[in-house]
């Protein structure tokens, strides 16, 4: 598999914020038009305990629609939760979307973490150790189903027996797998199975550096070439064209969240700033080898944010 080494920017959509499909579709078309390379969807069942009237669309359903309504945009999950679907069925879903899109799926997958959702839907929430055990078995099954004619696997938690699957994915040998996480065992799985790593938790540059150091160690243990794993960074970006606009935007967001301006500034998971400030925030990650950014913007401010980033930030990261 070959990978681009040019810095790319994608938009991250959190369906749990309340998006309708038409909003996501229009943002995808805009992102494609202005030069973003990808759109990514998180995989959640609802936002919080008071979300009974808030939309939360299934990510694979959304990406299926976008597969036929976009032409060049890569379509990813960041990340799909291994607990929500049997891995053999998830392999089929992703392969179908890859086929429908002409080979544009990026398969982000993680072990799961949001217990509130598990409890509400009656999904068992095992220990972190078991969730990673299941994650490992799922990766084995999914890659085998994508690449083998008669895939078999007998694990502790999942089994398949001649699980025929057609069509196979369009991408050869399969869609890029992006493992989401930061713990040493998950990094070990990334070194074995993944073409890309997404470091979870909106890490500041110091933490991101530490995780990449641990990834190098994991790659040494498994004999993987560290440089063949694409690195990505998922972060919040609240952007306005000038400082007055930034201050107004920050005040609006603080008011919506019920916090003070200073609290928002100190706790924001990402960067609040002008295009130059956003560029300066992201540039050190490029220096660490990050090639893919997934940016999540303040809800219902995505259109102007996408346009500003495409016009004023992306050129600076590539220059």
Q: Give me the CATH number covering residue 311.
A: 3.20.20.30
- Whether residue 146 is contained in a domain is answered as yes
For the chain, list residues with pLDDT below 70: 1-5
Structural domain for 27, as ranges: 8-237+275-318
- Whether residue 89 is contained in a domain is answered as yes
- Whether residue 285 is contained in a domain is answered as yes
- Whether residue 218 is contained in a domain is answered as yes
The model's pLDDT over 251-302, given as tens digits with 9 standing for 90+, comes to 999 999 999 999 999 999 999 999 999 999 999 999 999 999 999 999 999 9
- Whether residue 1 is contained in a domain is answered as no
**How far, rounded to the nearest angstrom, does the alpha carbon of residue 82 sit from its chain's CA centroid?**
14
- Whether residue 47 is contained in a domain is answered as yes
Cβ proximity of 7 and 318 under 8 Å: yes
Cβ proximity of 81 and 110 under 8 Å: yes
Cβ proximity of 232 and 197 under 8 Å: yes
Round to whole Å and give the CA distance between 231 and 228: 9
3-state SS record for the chain: CCCCCCCEEEEEECHHHCCCHHHHHHHHHHHHHHCCCEEEECCCCCCCCCCCCCCCCCHHHHHHHHHHHCCCCEEEECCEECCCCCHHHHHHHHHHHHHHCCCCEEEEEECCCCHHHHHHHCCCCCCHHHHHHHHHHHHHHHHHHHHCCCCEEECCCCEEECCCCCCCCCCCCCCCEEEECCCHHHHHHHHHHCCEEECCCCCCHHHHHHHHHHHHHHHHHHCCCHHHCEEEEEEEEEECCCHHHHHHHHHHHHHHHCCCHHHHHHHCCEEEECHHHHHHHHHHHHHCCEEEEEEECCCCCHHHHHHHHHHHHHHHHHC
How confident is the model at residue 5, as a pLDDT?
Answer: 66
Q: For the chain, how big is the Rg over CA atoms in Å?
A: 19
How confident is the model at residue 201, as a pLDDT?
Answer: 86
Cα angle 63-87-219, degrees, rounded to a multiple of 5: 95
- Whether residue 267 is contained in a domain is answered as no
How confident is the model at residue 3, as a pLDDT?
Answer: 40
Classify each residue of 136-159 as buried b or exposed e, where b means 16 or more C-beta atoms within 10 Å of its C-beta.
Answer: bbbbbbbbbbbeeeebebeeeebe
- Whether residue 268 is contained in a domain is answered as no
Indicate the number of domains in the chain: 1
- For tokens 């379509």, the residue is 75
């Amino acid at each position: 598999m070959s990978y681009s080494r040019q810095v790319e920017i994608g938009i991250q959509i959190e369906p749990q914020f309340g998006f309708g499909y038409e909003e996501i579709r229009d943002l995808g078309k805009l992102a494609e038009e202005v030069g973003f390379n990808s759109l990514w969807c998180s995989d959640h069942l609802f936002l919080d305990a008071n979300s009974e009237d808030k939309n939360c669309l299934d990510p694979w359903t959304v990406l299926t629609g976008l597969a036929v309504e976009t032409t060049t945009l890569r379509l990813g999950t960041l990340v799909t939760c291994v607990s929500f679907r049997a891995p053999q069925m998830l392999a089929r879903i992703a392969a179908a979307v890859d086929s429908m899109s002409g080979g544009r799926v990026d398969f982000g997958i993680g072990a799961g973490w949001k217990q509130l959702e598990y409890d509400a839907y009656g999904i068992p929430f095992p220990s972190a150790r078991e969730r990673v055990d299941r994650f490992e078995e799922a990766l084995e099954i999914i890659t085998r189903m994508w690449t083998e004619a008669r895939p078999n696997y007998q694990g502790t938690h999942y089994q398949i027996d001649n699980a025929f699957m057609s069509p196979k994915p369009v991408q050869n040998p399969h869609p890029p797998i992006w493992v989401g996480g930061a713990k040493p065992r998950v990094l070990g799985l990334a070194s074995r199975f993944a073409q890309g790593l997404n470091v979870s938790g909106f890490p500041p540059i110091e933490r991101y550096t530490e995780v990449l150091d641990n990834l190098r160690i994991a790659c040494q243990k498994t004999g993987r070439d560290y440089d063949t794993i694409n690195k990505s960074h998922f972060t919040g970006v609240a952007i306005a064209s000038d400082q007055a606009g930034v201050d107004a935007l920050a005040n609006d967001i603080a008011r919506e969240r019920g916090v003070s301006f200073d609290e928002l500034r100190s706790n924001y998971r990402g960067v609040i700033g002008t295009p130059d400030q956003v560029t300066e925030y992201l540039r050190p990650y490029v220096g660490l080898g990050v090639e893919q950014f997934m940016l999540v913007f303040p809800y219902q401010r995505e259109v102007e944010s996408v346009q500003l980033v495409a016009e004023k930030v992306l050129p600076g990261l590539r220059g």
